[in-house]
Structure 1
Amino acid sequence: MRKFKTESKKLLDLMINSIYTNREIFLRELISNASDAVDKLYFKSLTDKSIQLSKDELGIRVSFDKDARTVTVSDSGLGMTKDDLDRNLGTIAHSDSMEFKAENGDMQGEDVDIIGQFGVGFYSSFMVASKVRVVSKAYGACEAWGWESDGVEGYSIEAAERAEHGTDVILTLKDNTDEDNYDTYLTEYGLKNLIKRYSNYVRYPIQMEVTKSRELPKPEDAGDDYVPQYEDYTEVETINSMIPIWKRRKSEVTQEEYDEFYKTDFHDFSDPARTISVHAEGSLSYDALLFVPGRAPFDLYSKDYQKGLALYSSNVLIMEKCEELLPDYYNFVRGVVDSQDLQLNISRETLQHNSQLRAIAKKIEKKITSDLENMRDNDREGYEAFFESFGRGLKYGIYSSYGMQKDPLAGLLLFFSAKQDKLVTLAEYVEAMSEGQESIYYAVGESVERLNKMPIVKTVLGKGFDVLLCTQDVDEFCFTAMRDFGGDENGEGAKELKNVATGDLDLATEEEKKDAEEVTKDNEDLFKSLKEALGDSVTKVVVSARLTDAPACITTEGPVSLEMEKILSQGPDGDDIKSQRVLELNAKHPVFETLKAAQDSGDADKVKLYADLLYNQALLVEGMSIDDPVAFAQNVAKLMA
């Protein structure tokens, strides 16, 4: 028995219990080591003419013995001598692969891609195994050697038997416990699943003997009631796909192949709406294959939804969903990113340095934006279908970033145009603006049909200006964060975004403003009485310069509009969030004359009745609930009596 050094024992204990968080990656690590061993031999065959072999002779084999509780990973690679076993497996964190890469780095290319870096992946075996035996025969050697350890005190090395060059790693699995079921790794399904999940794109074939079923020939004397008989048989099958589709040029892959990969790997029954293939070379090289789904997943807007792209390094899965690769507003994008330049941490489960990942994420974000812009400009019908599913997230991206992301995202937004009767971009709205128009006008409500009937929308349209009809709860928050749209890089020429139901739209002519001032002055007592009747429900009652055929409307002052109040009231602190409401009266409407008559006659009760009716009626038009529906109904009945 050769003892592990004291520091090696401590490191081994750390390896088994701390560095790896997921036991099932042991197979990924062993297959990666096997792939490295095969790569080394193939590399030598390219540089040493005395080594005669073809790539077809190289591969990896995985098998299990349920009775003996063993899992074996075999390769036909370079193999190890007795000294290699002692140096590579007896010294923890010594990486022969790292040395190989350092010595031959300039000569590596697409044909050779050494994965190993830290010399610790092998020891992940002890997370699931009570004993590990390694039998290896170096290429060209006459004898094989066996290394064995329980991962506690030390290891032994002795002569062994192996017919051909290569290495067998034989794991004797631990017994099951109440918490851990190691029998999972002693099934055909369990091992195939791990191979496909983590090592599907290792460049060499990973083979297993699998059980299949076939129908037996029908006996000649079988009657009409014969029931087909079947038998099980075993066959060696290549489990992994080897060549990842994302490393192939787009010109070499059909859309049908992309669609099939997407539906299989991302468990969707619909074809993707867009496929984006990226091959970047330079200071940071990576391959990416991205998909915009054809429909939104059912849980897209739930708290349980997890965004992210599958992250690979040298064809080996590192993370199933790397969140850092996508901003939240592109959380619907699915796909993979593969880069051999990433600096992984020792466990290969997370990244050591995030600067490279951030650089890739930034480039991917730009690529997605560019592709969506292309879709918007060249496939409008498809883009409108995409926006119906995912537009809310783009709007939320602007709001949640306090407008910082409006430059890349604002151009992707679509809104319904009241004037053009279709969905338009903000750029298309600006392009169609009337001469002299300085603002982009929008209205927010429950539906396009309802917004089209709003008095203030009709007024703005009557002035010759278009109104964007916004029906999603995030719309107004998005516009509030944006504040304006367009203009140059200094903001010159930008168009302010204005809600038609808030603030001063400044649509009235000078004559209309003068008339409103005169009416206000002449009816000062009436407006005072109306304000007293409504109390704290409104901040003031004024003459409207924006109404045409409606008797009254509710507008707001300050940052909170009626729609915002409606949405925010659904939260835990909703009762504390109130808009500053203003009751605007149409002085040209017959109702105003009725109000004046009641005021002139000194009938305070009737003035209060009219005030309540007009206020609640205006709220209903805005789609707001009224505080006391019973009282409102009684007031209507009282007026009719």
Structure 2
Amino acid sequence: MMKKMADAEKKAGEGEGEDEAADSPKPAGEYTEFWKVYGPYLKMGVIEDQPNRIRLSKLIRFKSSHVDYRDEDDAYTDFESYVSRMPSGQKKLYYLIGSSLEEVKASPFAERLIKRGHEVIYFTEPLDEYLMQYLVEFSDVKFQNAAKEDLTVDDTDDEKRKQKQVRQHHRPFVKWWKETLVKAGHVDVDSVKVSNRLVDSPCVVVSSKYGYTANMEKIVRAQAMADQNAARMYLGKKVLEVNPNHPSIKRIRELWVEEGEEAAGAGTPASEAAVLMFQTSLLESGFEPAEPRSYAALVYKVLNDRLGVSEDAKVVDDFVYRRRRRRRRRSRSTRRLGPPSRRRRRQRRSCDGAQRAVPPP
């Protein structure tokens, strides 16, 4: 079956496929319908059929940051089209994998790539994680997962020198941040570094070079028969990348400088902001927080400070107290007058007695 699908790509190259009929939307629409049904089988062919892997990879379709989603037939592209659109100087094929198109489009991993005009491939199926483990390159261009820490952006020599100076300037700051997270119990943080991928986001949590991505962690956790002990070795490798140009990061650095040696302790504004920023970035990056209750407690504390609620404020159920008083009053009137049915009988008896007491005319 995989060989027949590979032969379909050969026919497409001879003019019988959808690529030769660019002026007619019908073949593209027909292949889109074919891809929606048989796409997973083609991906399995790339994984299992090594001799035909290159030929089958030409049949793979996906969505990307450069695709117009308004036309469903044209909402997919392929690797050959991607390579043809690559700007000069781009040396990698960038991709992201997530559980939905909305998730990968909104993720902060590829902010700088997209701003520089680089196209990012969007994969949204669980099988794609395994597919990209076998599909290493296409047309002699290697693939690059934008959610990994080893992301390389095609910077100029001046940009590289500037980034080196920025990293040296913030080295004590990110070192303190890493120590603060470890003291707070986040031993899964491998390192904290200055990011070269962020533009608008304050920070992002990425996987180490050989660690699981957030999407892969979800897949592993969902497998009931998976070896959790073996998987834990890869689940714990995370890297926090901070954007030194973001106002929030600048403010945390100011607090760190103002507090001095006190910033190394727990409970200071700088340390609490650093921990909360990391835990929030975990969620935004698709990871699950290791301590949900501690994260929730820290969020509530920040909200209370914002609302002006004192830490010593007690929980008082005023509504229950008033309801008990009303219930107590009602019970007293019931004991004095009796239940409603008894009161109505008394009223009827008094009316009957009054009628009998009146003499006839």
Compute the TM-score of the two structures, normalised by the length of structure 2: 0.69
CA contact (8 A) 2:91 2:154 kept: no
Q: 2:123 aligns with which of 465, 470, 478?
A: 470
Residue 372 of structure 1 and its aligned partner are, at CA, apart by 7.0
Residues 547-562 of structure 1 correspond to what in structure 2 (within 5 A)?
547-562=198-213
Residue 367 of structure 1 and its aligned partner are, at CA, apart by 4.2
Partner of 1:569: 221
The structure whose residues are more often helix, as a share, is: 2
CA contact (8 A) 1:547 1:586 kept: yes
Letter aligned with residue 497 of structure 1: F
Rounded Cα–Cα distance in structure 2 between residues aligned with 1:513 and 1:617: 29
Rounded Cα–Cα distance in structure 1 between residues aligned with 2:84 and 2:211: 29
Residues 321-332 of structure 1 correspond to what in structure 2 (within 5 A)?
326=1, 330=2
Partner of 1:430: 83
CA contact (8 A) 1:542 1:583 kept: yes
CA contact (8 A) 2:5 2:42 kept: no
Q: Deviations over 1:195-250 (max 9, x none)?
A: xxxxxxxxxxxxxxxxxxxxxxxxxxxxxxxxxxxxxxxxxxxxxxxxxxxxxxxx
Q: Deviations over 1:518-563 (max 9, x none)?
A: 3333333322221123232211100011111100011222233312
SS in 1 for 2:239: strand
1:445 aligns with 2:98: yes
Q: 2:110 aligns with which of 437, 453, 457?
A: 457
Q: 1:593 aligns with which of 250, 255, 270?
A: 250
Rounded Cα–Cα distance in structure 1 between residues aligned with 2:100 and 2:134: 22
Q: Deviations over 1:317-362 (max 9, x none)?
A: xxxxxxxxx4xxx4xxxxxxxxxxxxxxxxxxxxxxxxxxxxxxx6
Q: 1:513 aligns with which of 153, 160, 171?
A: 160
CA 529–371 in structure 1, closer or farther in 2 if over 3 Å, else same: same
CA contact (8 A) 1:419 1:461 kept: no
The structure whose residues are more often strand, as a share, is: 1
Rounded Cα–Cα distance in structure 2 between residues aligned with 1:533 and 1:576: 28
Who wins on radius of gyration, i.e. which is larger? Answer: 1
Rounded Cα–Cα distance in structure 2 between residues aligned with 1:614 and 1:575: 29
Higher relative contact order (CA 8 A, sep 6+): 2
Residue 613 of structure 1 and its aligned partner are, at CA, apart by 1.7
Partner of 2:343: none
Partner of 2:195: 544
Q: Deviations over 1:405-459 (max 9, x none)?
A: 3212100000102122331010011111112222211111122222112223232
CA 597–404 in structure 1, closer or farther in 2 if over 3 Å, else same: farther
Partner of 2:240: 583
CA contact (8 A) 2:110 2:198 kept: no
Residue 635 of structure 1 and its aligned partner are, at CA, apart by 1.2
Letter aligned with residue 227 of structure 2: D
SS in 1 for 2:281: helix
Partner of 2:284: 621
SS in 2 for 1:385: helix
CA 456–370 in structure 1, closer or farther in 2 if over 3 Å, else same: same
Rounded Cα–Cα distance in structure 1 between residues aligned with 2:48 and 2:272: 44
Rounded Cα–Cα distance in structure 2 between residues aligned with 1:396 and 1:611: 43
CA 500–573 in structure 1, closer or farther in 2 if over 3 Å, else same: same
Rounded Cα–Cα distance in structure 2 between residues aligned with 1:527 and 1:370: 53
CA contact (8 A) 1:446 1:472 kept: yes
Residue 468 of structure 1 and its aligned partner are, at CA, apart by 0.8
CA 537–596 in structure 1, closer or farther in 2 if over 3 Å, else same: same
CA 496–366 in structure 1, closer or farther in 2 if over 3 Å, else same: closer
Rounded Cα–Cα distance in structure 1 between residues aligned with 2:142 and 2:282: 27
CA 608–400 in structure 1, closer or farther in 2 if over 3 Å, else same: farther
Partner of 1:504: 151
Unaligned runs of 5+ in 1: 1-325, 331-361, 487-493
Q: Deviations over 1:29-69 (max 9, x none)?
A: xxxxxxxxxxxxxxxxxxxxxxxxxxxxxxxxxxxxxxxxx
Q: Deviations over 1:226-279 (max 9, x none)?
A: xxxxxxxxxxxxxxxxxxxxxxxxxxxxxxxxxxxxxxxxxxxxxxxxxxxxxx
Letter aligned with residue 542 of structure 1: K
1:495 aligns with 2:141: yes
Residues 146-545 of structure 1 correspond to what in structure 2 (within 5 A)?
326=1, 330=2, 367-370=7-10, 374-377=16-19, 378=21, 379-401=27-49, 404-421=51-68, 422-486=75-139, 494-502=140-148, 503-535=150-182, 536-545=187-196
SS in 1 for 2:58: helix
CA contact (8 A) 1:507 1:546 kept: no
Letter aligned with residue 66 of structure 2: K
Q: Deviations over 1:572-628 (max 9, x none)?
A: 214532242110000001112222123221333234322322222222122222222
Rounded Cα–Cα distance in structure 1 between residues aligned with 2:255 and 2:155: 28
Matched residue pairs, number?
Answer: 273
Rounded Cα–Cα distance in structure 1 between residues aligned with 2:40 and 2:227: 24
CA 516–636 in structure 1, closer or farther in 2 if over 3 Å, else same: farther
CA contact (8 A) 1:483 1:497 kept: yes
CA 575–549 in structure 1, closer or farther in 2 if over 3 Å, else same: farther
CA 547–420 in structure 1, closer or farther in 2 if over 3 Å, else same: same
Letter aligned with residue 93 of structure 2: I
The alignment yields a C-alpha RMSD, in angstroms, of 2.3
Residue 375 of structure 1 and its aligned partner are, at CA, apart by 4.2
Q: Deviations over 1:145-184 (max 9, x none)?
A: xxxxxxxxxxxxxxxxxxxxxxxxxxxxxxxxxxxxxxxx
CA contact (8 A) 2:144 2:151 kept: no
Letter aligned with residue 566 of structure 1: K
Letter aligned with residue 477 of structure 1: Y
Rounded Cα–Cα distance in structure 1 between residues aligned with 2:190 and 2:170: 18
Letter aligned with residue 48 of structure 2: S
